[in-house]
Amino acid sequence: MSNDPFDRIFETMNAFSNTSRRRFLAATGSAFAALSASGCSTAPAPQIARAGNPGRGATGYGPLVKDPAGMLDLPEGFSYRVLSRLGNAMSDGGAVPDKADGMGCLDLGNGRIALVRNHELIPTDDAGGTLAHGYGTRDGAIVPGGTTTIVLDAETLAVEQEYRSLAGTIRNCSGGVTPWGSWLTCEEAPTGPGQRFGEGLAKNHGWVFEVPAAAGRQVEAVPLTAMGRFNHEAACVDPRSGIVYLTEDRDDSVLYRFLPKEPGNLAAGGRLQFMVATDGTRDSRNWDGSAMQVGVSKAVRWIDIDNVEAPEDDLRMRAAAEGGVLIARGEGIHMGEDEFYVCSTSGGAKKLGQVFRIRPGYDGADNRFELFFESESEEQFNYGDNLTIAPFGDLIVCEDQYTDPVNNYLRGITPEGVAYPFGRLNMQTELAGGCFSPDGKWFFVNAYSPTVTVAITGPWV
């Protein structure tokens, strides 16, 4: 059985339809528990009142308080409310689909915000209703992956609209927001006709798609093919340059960037590049030694790569052959102020996860690549996935542990590189899609399966 994340999912795609991703991985021999009854609470989770306002100390917000509703433990003074869950009726007549993954929050103006939410669905999953149109089909039926959008009152979080905003894609894992008001949703599915796991598919998959936050309806799904075809995970846009940085969920992934011909107009095409360290470092994973030391940065450069539509799904291998730095399962990526962070799910000597900091070179300065954090124990940090930068400067990382049973946390990491628990999910599934509201008051996050989207607030620093 393959160890590749893509292969592990698709090898059991047909036999295990309409179940959680954890059930797929369990079927392949990975040590996961099936969803337990206690983890799949169907009772409404009201906003939970908690006293106190302790604020963040040097190592976080203090101990987690047990959630009386049994879903999400948070520090004292914090509370959450449920905004959306699997099967809820949406305003377009469909129902909320399962497998909520990456998500972005964007300001729509006039006191409204939008959450654009990925659904990591495979062709045999339930779409949540009839799909009128979409990018790809399998045996003539539109494949169910894509996005939904939730429009909220920015002050009260009242749901004003909820609708399917993209369809016809496969395994929309994560993505990233753009400075011009859209969400880039990424297919973690380089498959297609005549390829492995491509039976019945009409088109190649493994692309990035763009979804305007203010669309108000399902948009036409147009693949941004110049951004490459690979096992896409997430994306972030540098607002100074318009360059898009892209991660890849493979054990032997590399880091990419896309230089658009027209910043802000990704459909106009551009150049795809991969990252190379100028000192010759070729492996950042630290699985066999310590090529990367915490706090030490290296100068990097970027090399063009051709044949980016990659019918052989070989971009990373061609990049590595030319000196591309290997990253262990590049997943979450988020842009801060003149720097961005990348989460490596299984990197590090203990294979528990790493976080890298990359500083783009402006005005002739070097691009810099640094190991910002590496976990040394499961209690510290265990398989980080999606991440975001909080308004107060910490990273907030969603865990996707490979443990039995699953015990996933929201982990904060301070600017000094100290990890702390911020939340614990009492469901047998992963946390995903963490993002802050534009005003910094709310933190939104998903429980993957069954889909639950919540908003957290409290005494942020």
What is 38-52 written as a DSSP string? GGS--S---------
| pLDDT-based confidence at residue 48 (cuts at 50, 70, 90) | very low
Residue 143 makes CB contacts below 8 A (sequence gap 6+) with 121, 122, 123, 134, 135, 136, 137, 167, 168, 169, 170, 201
Kindly report the three-state secondary structure assignment for every residue of 251-288: CCECCEEEEECCCCCHHHCEEEEEEEECCCCCECCCCC
Q: What is the pLDDT of residues 265-309, one digit of tens each?
A: 999 999 999 999 999 999 999 999 888 999 999 999 999 999 999
pLDDT, residue 28, reads: 26
pLDDT, residue 86, reads: 98
* For residues 149-176, average pLDDT: 98
Q: The whole model's pTM is what? A: 0.90
In our burial notation (b when 16+ CB lie closer than 10 A, e otherwise), range 17-48 reads eebbbbbbbbbbeeebeebeeebbbeeebeeb
- On the question of pLDDT at 35 being above 60, the answer is no
pLDDT, residue 18, reads: 34
* For residues 232-259, average pLDDT: 98
pLDDT, residue 289, reads: 85
pLDDT, residue 56, reads: 72
pLDDT, residue 245, reads: 98
Closest by CA to 386, choosing from 337, 305, 446, is 446
Q: What is the pLDDT of residues 335-346, one digit of tens each?
A: 999 999 999 999
Closest by CA to 177, choosing from 108, 262, 91, is 108
Residue 402 sits at the vertex; the CA angle it makes with 401 and 405, to the nearest 5 degrees, is 90
